[in-house]
Structures are given as structure tokens and as C-alpha cells.
């Protein structure tokens, strides 16, 4: 075996910088780089393979292999040693390539002559861009030092691709950030939007990758780490001792900020010629690559923490704050990994659309987006790394798709879709003042669901007959502190003012399950949706319930008041809650406050048990409202938050419709007013069926009122009911097919 060569990574980076400063065209530059690396590494071969598409790699430049193979030799992800490096994101370093598992010989390259092989992934922040390979004839294993040197060069290379340095003929990664990309996520709020990217947290752009003076870079790193540590300590001192989750995150931050391994690796990178920010980014890149492979949620969270911390460090080092000086486009589409409800409210209605990498349908951000009627796509993996501020983007909230930098065809199709929607909006506006009167002469009352002050202008705009469900917990969810009684009563008064005498049904706090209030100790429950939530919390901790009931009475200030209790599962829960209301009224009377002119107290029917409660219960309540979201999840035992099962069972399933019909019949028999306020009430076909089985009040998102009214005005409920009964008698599992056919004939 020959003497190991000495590779000076600082020298190699120095030469690389000269190449980068040169304004040679992309291909020439790639050629120069392969030549330079081969020389510095004392190998006969250096090649760069880049991704042509998601799973094809192409030889884009080489020193040492046959030049005719450039842009001809391609391999699939996982194929051969190069493909394996690309797939696993790890280095292969062998002195006998042909004997190494996965080796595949590419005859056109002439590589049979080379025994040693070192392949290093070229990746940027966990995103795979290609593979950098060195090969030599003598059977040598490259030293750790050499592997490291090539890794550092690969990182610089990744940045060059990122910066569009290879935009030249033939280069595979040409102008990646100019390509059109489609992100397939999940719908959290439907609707379509067209606009330009506005990054919630703009990516820190590292332009200074190579450090000229390692001593100075080391000092810069130390100063930044110190600033970071002080920041973390400050956050820890402000964190409330009761908040276990927040403390846990901050402790993890502290652990990383003081991690010797993290520091040592970055110091070594600086020693090898990287700038301080490039060293931080290299660590971040490794963490992201691991994140892509780790499935354990705890570990993923920790890697996320490290990612956040790296971003903080990069901001300190580059001086780029959240503020980049860029002006928000007039039609902003917000792109973020995730966003909190308060931050989203700060943007308010200025946003045209939102695309998140994370989030969930029931997340607070989704609730707010829904309230503001802003199309929202969640689970759009990697969009924050792909999108740049100002990029054109189309959001299709109906399909859960975002098109970044769309090409002309996508754009044209989208424009047609938006034009059709605009036409439909015009149609809805034209019937805004008209009743939801069916062809058979039945009027259905359409009310809206709300929860924020931001919702209230919709009361007028949508033509709703009132607020059928005011989710009071939203006010609790979006604050960092528990709201005071006086704040609440003022808010409730403003809601009633905005309703101008139209009825408003206030639902008392429905917290627990997915609705976690930041200032309440989280309960660790195995099944929160079936756990300690809503009225169960209210009855066990009556202090909060009493406060809220008082605030409601005071907010009404002598006007009629309607209140309903969520998640009532049996009669005694309603009775106990009602008794609390009676006590609250009595207290207010003694205090001399005006009492509501009329008081109606209802319950939400969200558990199948209540459908079978004794008649007495049906007579006691002033009204019932079916919370279809919860009722359906318990009826089918299918978690409404679980993407895998959430859409598995159709609302128009015959069993569910029959169950709902039984409830309607019981209410008719007992004279109990009944409404339906789950999401299905806002879906036109479902709404028509609910009306056909006898529901006369439907409460929905304001944006749904137009479409639902429009379909009801063209429906004969008797005919539709016959259609449902026929399908059911035939043994159809769902009546959807038959109903759609009937409705198509009416449109
Ligand atoms: C329901 O469950 O249908 C409902 C309206 O309540 P929420 O969606 O707030 O649980
Ligand atoms: Mg519910």
C-alpha cells in the first residue's frame, strides 16, 4: 500500500474560492472543480453527479473518467455505489470498489481501472442534491481527514448549486429555485388563492462560506454561542415553572447550546477552512438529514430544536433577523413550518393563503385560518426550503395542493378554476338577502359558526340568520394568559352588538382534546378526545365555568341570552351545568346586575349516548344542537384528527343518516328545537340531505352559506328524501351516489 497523501483542506477551499470568484460558465466551473479536487486529493478521478429528477442521478462533470460519459451516464437512486450514497446520505469509503456491496460497473465511464472509491453526499440542509466522488487506481482507504475534506468541499458545492452557480448548458441542477414545483399536502381550509410567497421566517442566506482567518472565525463562533446561551438562559428564567412542555424544550435548547460535541465539530470545520456560519449550517444540514430518517416523535422534536437553534445562531452570525427588509407583496401567501394562532392573527386578513409544512386540521392555526376564510394547505413537506420570498405561488385549498412557481399550463388551469369560483360567488351574492327556501316551500334557517371578533363582519356579508355556534374557547386558545371576566363580558357584549338582534348561541368552553389552552397544565391522557374535556372539565373545575357564565350574563346586559353546553353525554351533566347557570343568575340578581330578557339553555349532542337519553332530558333542554364532527367520530370510532381514518366513513352512510333521523324524530316527538352545527352542515350535498331528513337549522362556516343556500333553493326535500329512502332500501352503504344523481338533475 502506498504512503498516505496529505490533503490540506484549507488549501483546497482557498483554491475553490478562486474558482467560484471566476465568472466561468456553469459547466466550465464544474470541470475546474473536479480537476482541482483530484489534484488536491491526489486521485486520478473526481466526478460530480447531480440529481436530474427525484430519483435519477447524472454524471455532470469528471476529471479522469471518459468525457463522453458526461451527461450520458445516469443511474437511479440506490443504484450502484453512487446511487447508494445518494439514497442513504452517508459516505462510502472503500479500497476495493468492485468488491463492495451494490457496486455497478458503468462501462462507458472507463471506471473499471479504479479500485478505491470515496463517495460523499452533496446536500444542503438535508436536501439531497448529488454525490461527489473521488477514485484512484491504488487500493487505498481514504483517511478520516480526507473524508472530512471532501465533505466540506461537498458542502460548499451544495451552496453553489443553491445559488444557481451551475446555470449553464447541461448542468442537472440548473436554477433549482426557478423550477416549478408542486406540493401535495392536506386541506385544512378550502378555497383558492393566487399570490406571492411571504416567508414567515425567511431563510438565512449564507454567502460567506469560506473563512479567511480561522482565528477570527473561531472568535465569531464563540461570541455567537455566548449570545445564544445568554438568550436561552433568559428564556428559561422567564419560563413559568408549571409549564412542563415549555421547560422541556428550553432545557433541550440549553443542552444543545452547551453541547461539547456540537462545539467541537464546528471548531473542527472552522479549522478546516469554513466560516463560522458555514460550520453552523453544516451541523444543521446533518441534523436535517437525520430528521428525515428518524420516526421517533421525541427524537424528531429534539432535532427540530437543534434546527431552530441553528437558525438562531445563523441570524446572530449573519445579522439577518426575521426582518430582511423585503417588502411584503400585496398578495402574500404565507409559507412557514408552523405558526401560532396569535402570530397568524397579527397577519390577519392581509394574507391570501397559507401553506405549512406541519400543522394539523384541528390546530389553532387552522381554526384561525378557517375563521378568516384563508385557504390553508398543511403537510406541504419541504416547502420552506424550496420557496423564496416573492416567488409566484398558487394555493389550491380544495385539493390540498400548492404550486410554487407554476408554469403556464398550471397557471391557466388555475385561472379557470378561480374564474369559476368567482362566478359562483356572484351567484351567491345575488341570493344573499333571499331565504333558503326549498322547491317544496320549506325554509331552512342557515346560521354561522364563529369564535373570533374577526368572524363577525361575515354575519352581514354571508346573509346568515344569526350565529348558531360561537366557540368561546377560541378566545382562550389564542391568548397566553387566561382572559379576565371583564374582558370576556365586554367581548360577548360586542358579539351581541354586532349581531344586531340576530340570535347568537354561545357554547361554553370546549377545551381539552385537541384544544389545549397554553396556561393550563396539560393533562397526559391516552385518549384526549374521549378524555377530560368540555363540560367534564367545567363540572370538575366549576370556577372557570362560573366565571364564564357570569361574563355571559353581564355581556347580555338585559338582552336575550342563549347558551349551550358542549359534549354532554348524559342527563345529569346537563342538569348540573344548568344548576350552575341558575346559581349564576341568582348571584347576578343579588348583585343588582340586569338579567337577560330571556334565557335559553341547550346541550350539544356529540356522543351517541345522548341520542338514547330519556325523554325527560329531551323535555328539559331548551334546544339541542348536533355537533356532527364529534358525533360522527364516535359513531364510527374514527378519530376526526387522524388523516388515515378521518375520511374513511361517509356522512351519507345509511347507518349514520338513520341514526340522525332517529334523533330528529325524537326531537319532533318531544318538541325539542334541533340544529346541526358540525362541518357537514356547510357541505352543500350533506346539508341538503340533513334538510331532507328533517333538520331545519344548519350552522356552518360563513363561506358555506352561499353554496348551501344555492343548492337548497333548487332542491325538493320530499323528492330527495324518497331518493335517500330508495337507496337505503336497495341496501346501498352510502346514499351519496343516488343523491348526487338526483341533485345533478336539478342543477
Ligand atoms: C362538533 O363537534 O361538531 C362541533 C361543532 O364542535 P367542535 O368542532 O368545536 O368540536
Ligand atoms: Mg365538538
* Lowest mean pLDDT across 275-279, 419-423, 450-454: 450-454
731 burial type by CB count under 10 A (0-12 exposed, 13-18 middle, 19+ buried): exposed
Q: Give residue 567 CA to ligand 2 midpoint distance, Å.
A: 7
Q: Give the per-residue pLDDT at 167.
A: 34
State the residue for C-alpha cell 339541542. 624
How far is residue 527's CA from residue 530's CA, in Å, rounded to a whole number? 6
Cβ of residue 606 lying under 6 Å from some atom of ligand 1: yes
477: number of Cβ within 10 Å: 19
How far is residue 261's CA from residue 311's CA, in Å, rounded to a whole number? 18
Instruction: Find, among 564, 555, 539, the residue nearest to 490 by Cα.
Output: 555
Q: Give residue 340 CA to ligand 1 midpoint distance, Å.
A: 21
Would the pLDDT of 480 be above 80?
A: no
Query: Residue 170: pLDDT band by 50, 70, 90 thresholds?
Result: very low
Chain center to CA of 514 = 15
Chain center to CA of 186 = 8
- H helices then E strands: how many in the chain? 27, 23
CA-nearest residue, atom 4 of ligand 1: 627
Exposed e or buried b for every residue in 120-140, given b needs 16+ CB within 10 A? bbbbbbbbbbbbbbbbbeeeb
Query: Residue 174: pLDDT band by 50, 70, 90 thresholds?
Result: very low
Beta pairing partners, 199 = 335
Q: Give the per-residue pLDDT at 173.
A: 37
Q: Give the per-residue pLDDT at 662.
A: 98
Cβ of residue 312 lying under 6 Å from some atom of ligand 1: no
Residue 440 annotated in active site:
no
Q: Give residue 288 CA to ligand 1 midpoint distance, Å.
A: 37
Name the residue of 360, 534, 602, 604 whose CB sits within 8 Å of the most ligand 1 atoms, as the mutation to test its pocket: 604
In sign, the C-alpha dihedral spanning 612, 613, 616, 618 is negative
Output the nine-digit C-alpha cell for 181.
Answer: 414545483
Which has more confidence, 323 or 642? Answer: 642
> Stretch 335-360: mean pLDDT, rounded?
83
Would the pLDDT of 62 be above 80?
A: yes
Which one is catalytic: 364, 379, 403, 667? 364
Write out the DSSP string of 592-645.
TPPPPSSEEEEEEE-SHHHHTS-HHHHHHSSEEEE-HHHHHHHHTT--TT-TTT
pLDDT in tens, 389-409: 889 999 999 889 999 999 998
CB 602 within 8 A of CB 614: no
Phi, psi at residue 672, to the nearest 5°? -95, 120
H/E stretch holding 157 reads helix 144-162
In sign, the C-alpha dihedral spanning 174, 180, 184, 185 is positive
H/E stretch holding 353 reads strand 353-356
CA-nearest residue, atom 6 of ligand 1: 627
Which one is catalytic: 60, 667, 677, 689? 677
Write out the DSSP string of 457-514.
HHHHHHT-SSEEEEETHHHHHT-SSPPPHHHHHHHHHHHHHHHTTS-EEEEPP--BTT
pLDDT in tens, 501-522: 999 999 999 987 666 676 777 6
Cβ of residue 677 lying under 6 Å from some atom of ligand 1: yes
> Stretch 414-440: mean pLDDT, rounded?
91
Beta pairing partners, 187 = 377
Q: Give the per-residue pLDDT at 451.
A: 87
Instruction: State the ligand closest to the CA atom of 449.
Output: 1
Ligand 1 atom with minimal separation from the 606 CA: 2
Find all residues with CB under 8 Å of 657, minimum gap 6, and list them: 651, 689, 693, 724, 728, 735
Write out the DSSP string of 267-299.
HHHHHTTB-HHHHHHHHHHHHHHHHHH---HHH
Cβ of residue 627 lying under 6 Å from some atom of ligand 1: yes
- Pairing relationship of beta strands 92-94 and 116-124 according to DSSP bridges: antiparallel
Query: Residue 300: pLDDT band by 50, 70, 90 thresholds?
Result: low
Name the residue of 364, 468, 471 whose CB sits within 8 Å of the most ligand 1 atoms, as the mutation to test its pocket: 471
Residue 677 annotated in active site:
yes
Would the pLDDT of 178 be above 90?
A: no
Name the residue of 451, 678, 690, 700 whose CB sits within 8 Å of the most ligand 1 atoms, as the mutation to test its pocket: 678
Q: Give residue 628 CA to ligand 1 midpoint distance, Å.
A: 7
Cβ of residue 628 lying under 6 Å from some atom of ligand 1: yes
Residue 176 is given by DSSP the state: G
Q: At what angle do helices 276-293 and 144-162 cross, to 10 degrees?
A: 90
pLDDT in tens, 554-564: 999 999 999 99
Q: What is the mean pLDDT of the chain?
A: 87
* Lowest mean pLDDT across 267-281, 560-574, 602-616, 686-700: 267-281
Which has more confidence, 319 or 598? Answer: 598
* Lowest mean pLDDT across 361-365, 463-467, 544-548: 361-365
Find all residues with CB under 8 Å of 444, minimum gap 6, and list them: 436, 438, 691, 695, 696, 697, 698, 712
Cβ of residue 629 lying under 6 Å from some atom of ligand 1: yes
Ligand 1 atom with minimal separation from the 566 CA: 6
Name the residue of 452, 566, 624, 697 whose CB sits within 8 Å of the most ligand 1 atoms, as the mutation to test its pocket: 566
Ligand 1 atom with minimal separation from the 699 CA: 5
Amino acid at each position: 500500500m502506498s504512503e498516505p497523501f496529505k490533503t490540506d483542506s484549507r488549501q483546497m477551499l482557498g483554491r475553490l474560492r478562486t474558482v467560484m470568484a471566476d465568472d466561468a460558465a456553469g459547466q466550465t466551473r464544474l470541470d475546474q472543480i473536479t480537476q482541482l479536487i483530484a489534484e488536491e486529493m491526489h486521485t486520478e478521478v473526481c466526478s460530480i453527479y447531480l440529481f436530474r429528477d427525484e430519483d435519477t442521478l447524472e454524471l455532470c462533470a469528471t476529471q479522469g473518467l471518459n468525457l463522453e460519459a458526461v451527461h450520458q451516464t445516469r443511474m437511479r437512486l440506490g443504484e450502484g455505489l453512487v446511487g447508494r450514497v445518494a439514497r442513504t446520505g452517508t459516505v462510502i469509503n472503500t479500497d476495493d470498489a468492485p468488491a463492495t456491496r451494490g457496486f455497478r460497473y458503468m462501462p462507458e465511464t472507463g471506471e473499471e481501472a479504479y479500485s478505491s472509491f470515496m463517495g460523499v453526499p452533496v446536500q444542503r440542509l438535508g436536501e439531497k442534491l448529488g454525490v461527489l466522488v473521488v477514485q484512484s487506481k491504488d487500493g487505498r482507504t481514504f483517511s478520516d481527514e480526507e473524508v472530512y475534506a471532501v465533505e466540506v468541499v461537498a458542502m460548499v458545492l451544495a451552496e453553489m448549486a443553491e445559488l444557481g452557480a451551475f446555470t449553464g448548458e447541461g448542468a442537472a441542477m440548473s436554477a433549482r429555485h426557478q423550477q416549478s414545483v408542486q406540493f401535495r399536502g392536506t386541506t385544512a381550509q378550502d378555497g383558492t388563492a393566487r399570490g406571492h410567497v411571504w416567508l414567515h421566517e425567511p431563510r438565512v442566506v449564507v454567502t460567506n462560506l469560506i473563512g479567511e482567518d480561522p482565528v477570527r472565525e473561531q472568535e465569531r463562533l464563540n461570541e455567537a454561542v455566548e449570545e445564544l446561551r445568554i438568550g436561552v438562559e433568559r428564556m428559561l428564567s422567564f419560563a413559568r415553572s408549571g409549564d412542563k412542555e415549555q421547560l422541556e424544550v428550553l432545557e433541550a435548547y440549553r443542552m444543545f447550546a452547551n453541547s461539547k460535541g456540537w462545539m467541537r465539530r464546528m471548531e473542527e470545520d472552522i479549522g478546516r477552512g469554513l466560516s463560522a456560519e458555514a460550520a453552523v449550517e453544516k451541523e444543521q444540514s446533518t441534523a436535517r438529514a437525520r430528521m428525515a430518517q428518524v420516526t421517533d416523535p421525541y427524537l424528531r422534536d429534539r432535532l427540530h430544536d437543534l434546527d431552530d437553534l441553528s437558525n438562531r445562531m445563523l441570524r446572530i452570525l449573519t445579522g439577518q433577523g426575521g426582518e430582511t427588509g423585503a417588502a411584503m407583496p400585496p398578495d402574500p401567501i404565507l409559507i412557514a413550518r408552523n405558526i401560532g394562532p396569535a402570530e397568524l392573527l397579527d397577519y390577519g386578513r392581509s394574507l391570501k393563503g397559507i401553506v405549512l409544512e406541519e400543522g394539523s386540521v384541528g390546530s389553532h392555526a387552522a381554526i384561525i385560518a378557517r375563521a378568516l376564510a384563508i385557504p390553508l394547505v398543511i403537510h406541504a413537506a419541504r416547502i420552506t426550503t424550496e420557496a423564496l420570498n416573492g416567488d409566484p405561488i398558487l394555493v389550491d385549498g380544495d385539493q390540498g395542493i400548492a404550486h410554487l412557481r407554476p408554469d403556464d399550463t398550471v397557471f391557466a388551469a388555475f385561472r379557470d378554476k378561480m374564474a369559476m369560483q368567482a362566478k359562483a360567488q356572484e351567484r351567491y351574492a345575488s341570493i344573499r338577502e333571499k331565504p333558503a327556501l326549498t322547491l317544496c316551500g320549506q325554509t331552512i334557517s342557515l346560521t354561522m359558526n364563529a369564535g373570533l371578533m374577526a368572524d363577525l363582519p361575515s354575519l352581514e356579508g354571508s346573509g346568515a340568520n344569526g350565529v348558531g355556534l360561537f366557540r368561546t374557547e377560541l378566545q382562550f386558545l389564542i391568548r397566553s394568559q387566561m382572559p379576565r371576566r371583564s374582558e370576556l363580558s365586554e367581548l360577548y357584549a360586542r358579539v351581541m352588538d354586532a349581531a344586531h338582534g340576530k340570535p347568537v348561541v354561545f357554547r361554553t368552553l370546549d377545551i381539552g382534546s385537541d384544544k389545549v389552552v397554553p396556561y393550563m397544565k396539560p393533562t397526559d391522557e391516552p385518549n384526549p378526545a374521549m378524555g377530560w374535556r368540555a363540560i367534564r372539565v367545567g363540572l370538575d373545575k366549576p370556577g372557570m365555568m362560573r366565571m364564564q357564565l357570569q361574563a355571559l350574563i353581564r355581556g347580555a346586559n338585559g338582552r336575550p341570552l342563549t347558551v349551550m353546553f358542549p359534549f354532554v353525554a348524559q342527563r345529569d351533566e346537563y342538569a348540573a351545568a344548568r344548576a350552575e347557570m341558575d346559581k349564576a343568575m341568582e348571584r347576578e340578581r343579588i348583585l343588582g346586575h340586569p338579567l337577560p330578557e330571556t334565557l335559553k339553555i341547550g346541550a350539544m349532542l356529540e356522543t351517541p349516548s345522548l341520542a338514547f337519553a330519556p325523554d325527560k332530558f329531551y323535555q328539559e333542554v331548551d334546544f339541542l344542537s348536533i355537533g356532527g364532527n364529534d358525533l360522527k367520530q364516535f359513531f364510527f370510532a374514527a378519530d376526526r384528527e387522524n388523516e388515515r381514518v378521518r375520511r374513511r366513513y361517509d356522512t351519507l352512510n345509511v347507518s349514520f343518516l338513520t341514526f340522525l333521523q332517529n334523533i330528529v324524530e325524537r326531537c319532533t316527538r318531544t318538541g325539542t328545537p334541533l340544529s346541526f352545527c358540525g362541518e357537514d352542515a356547510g357541505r352543500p350535498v350533506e346539508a341538503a340531505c340533513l334538510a331532507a331528513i328533517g333538520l331545519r337549522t344548519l350552522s356552518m362556516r360563513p363561506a358555506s352559506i352561499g353554496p348551501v343556500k344555492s343548492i337548497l333553493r333548487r332542491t325538493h326535500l320530499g323528492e330527495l328524501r324518497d331518493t335517500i329512502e330508495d337507496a337505503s332500501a336497495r341496501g346501498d352503504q352510502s346514499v351519496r351516489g343516488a343523491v348526487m344523481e338526483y341533485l345533478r338533475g336539478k342543477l
